[in-house]
Each structure stands twice: as structure tokens, then as C-alpha cells.
Amino acid sequence: MEIKQAIEALGALAQETRLEVFRLLVTAGPEGLPAGEIAESLGAPASTLSFHLAYLSRAGLVVSRRESRSIIYSANFDGMRGLLDFLTQDCCKGRPEMCSPLVEPKPAAAARRAKTC
Amino acid sequence: MEIKQAIEALGALAQETRLEVFRLLVTAGPEGLPAGEIAESLGAPASTLSFHLAYLSRAGLVVSRRESRSIIYSANFDGMRGLLDFLTQDCCKGRPEMCSPLVEPKPAAAARRAKTC
DNA sequence: TCTATAATTCTATATTTATAGAATTATGGA
DNA sequence: TCCATAATTCTATAAATATAGAATTATAGA
């Protein structure tokens, strides 16, 4: 991921409503949620949400698809992974020891990671 | 890291000059760089840089110390790690498989991570 | 103490972002 | 085709951010 793209993604998440939308979509998984449901869930007007969803979409953090009259939004995990990679490599540039272990919230995480090693 | 703090850190990095400052400070390491050198290095006026450095500082991504007449800024790796943890846990909430392996740039990284497992 | 240096804070201005009602577009069913 | 629903785009306005010169503060050396 290049720097311009990273800045766009960072800016997309640097706002309360959008970060909440993203979190909501992450928990919703690949099935996603229709725009209206997201707006209702956050208690914001449809036009405001539409603005934020477009922002997240431009940033590559969510994707959308039409399904009958609804437009379904879902988290773009590849996009998020791209951002995390950018930050990690940026942060660790030349000094990898300073940013790892990246996550160690509870034993389960360590076990999970052990699998991939 | 809580959500307000994460938004501040994301916002701090979501701007070209500040992201460049942070990258510069990461490569500079714990010794850091004086404010003037950072400004000169980026070709921006001192007052502009001061504004951005204060922003990064508020966000917990850099720290400063006075050294004679200079003020030395350095990357706060703990702060950055906090942000990465927040994002990773947020992104992976309920579906950890979607965001790992987080980094796999070259064999060295895998070896490095293997040590921590 | 006086002067030069390093940086910040003050101030004004320009730019970008956010909010939300009104108007518009797209879809599906009667 | 006509109507209701789901969303977006348009528009205006408010709020936050970014830029940079001028003034101020802090430190060190002569």
C-alpha cells in the first residue's frame, strides 16, 4: 500500500461515526448490512451515513453491492490488512523488535498465532 | 487503548506532513531529532512543523525532551503499538483469521515472529 | 546583561470535513 | 403505470484543520 492510500484509509477511520460503522461491519462479517440498517443502528440521518459510507468506500475499507432495493455494505478485510501492513512495516522500519508482539490480549491469541508460525 | 485515543492517533497519521514526520522519527530511533532538523528535512516552516509535532504529541505517537536549546522529538513506539493493537483487535473482532498473518514481507519476518511464539 | 539561537504560541486566512434537509435516482410490487 | 421504499446526490452551513508570518519564551555563550 502506498502512502496516499494509507492516508486516505487512516483518515477514514479517524472519525467517530465512520470508525463505529467499520466496527459494526466487521462484526457483521461478509454478509454485511444494508445502508439503512447501519444508519438506524447509529441513529444518524441517511444522508450523513451515505457520506461516511462513501468515504470508507473510497478508502477501500468497505465494499458495497446492490441487493434488490437495498445496498449492502461489508468490511473489506483485504483493505484493512493492507493498512495494518503499511503501519506495521512503517512502524517497524529498521527496528522490528519495537512493534512485536503486535497482539497479545489473552492466551487464546498466542495460541492462534502459534498455528500460523 | 480506547476509542477516543485511537481516533486521535489515526487522525494524527492521516496527514501527509505528520506521517512523514513520524516515519522520519521511526528511522531516527530513540535518539530522535531536534524540531529544527525535522522542519528543515521536510522543507516546512518551523511554526507549521511545531503545530504538527504538537498534534503527534497529543496523540501519544511522539515524545519530546529538551536538550539545551533544542527540543528533541522521538517516536513513541509504545503509542504506535497501542494503535496497532487497537486496530488489529478491532479488525479481527470475532474473526481472527481474517487479519493474520499481519506481516509477511520476507522470510526474516517469519523467523522473527517464530521466536516470539 | 546583551545577543543569538531554537522553538513555541499567537493570529489571520484558506481549505477541508461534517451535518442534515430537500431533491433525485433506482427498484419492486400492486 | 403508479406508488412506496431505499439510497444517493445536491445544497447550504457549521466546524475543524492546515498554513505560515509575527510576536514571544527559553537557553546558552560572550
Buried b (16+ CB within 10 A) or exposed e, A68-105: eeeebbbbbbebbbbbbbbbbebbbeeebebbbebbee
Instruction: Note the pLDDT of residue A98.
Output: 62
Work out how many domains chain B is built from and give that number.
1
Instruction: Note the pLDDT of residue B67.
Output: 96
**Would you give the distance in Å from CA B49 to the centre of its chain?**
16
Instruction: Note the pLDDT of residue B103.
Output: 41
Per the structure, the residue whose CA is closest to nucleotide D22 at C1' is B47
Each residue's pLDDT tens digit, B9-31:
999 999 999 999 999 999 999 99
Each residue's pLDDT tens digit, B1-13:
689 999 999 999 9
Q: Do A15 and B23 touch (CB under 8 A)?
A: no
Mean pLDDT for chain B overall = 84
Residue B71, min C-alpha distance to chain A (Å)? 22
Cα angle for residues B84, B90, B93 (degrees, 5° grid): 130
C-alpha cell at A15: 472519525
The CATH number covering residue B18 comes to: 1.10.10.10
Instruction: Note the pLDDT of residue A95.
Output: 62
Contact between B64 and B71 under an 8 Å Cβ cutoff? The reply is yes
Q: Looking at beta carbons, which residues of chain A come within 8 Å of B94?
A: 26-27, 29
The parent domain of residue A86 ranges over 1-117
Q: Which residues of chain A have pLDDT under 50?
A: 102-117
Write a three-state SS string for B23-54: HHHHHHCCCCEEHHHHHHHHCCCHHHHHHHHH
Mean pLDDT of B21-44: 96
Instruction: Note the pLDDT of residue A96.
Output: 64
CA distance A98 to A32: 35
Per the structure, the residue whose CA is closest to nucleotide C21 at C1' is A47
Portion of chain B with pLDDT greater than 70, in percent: 79
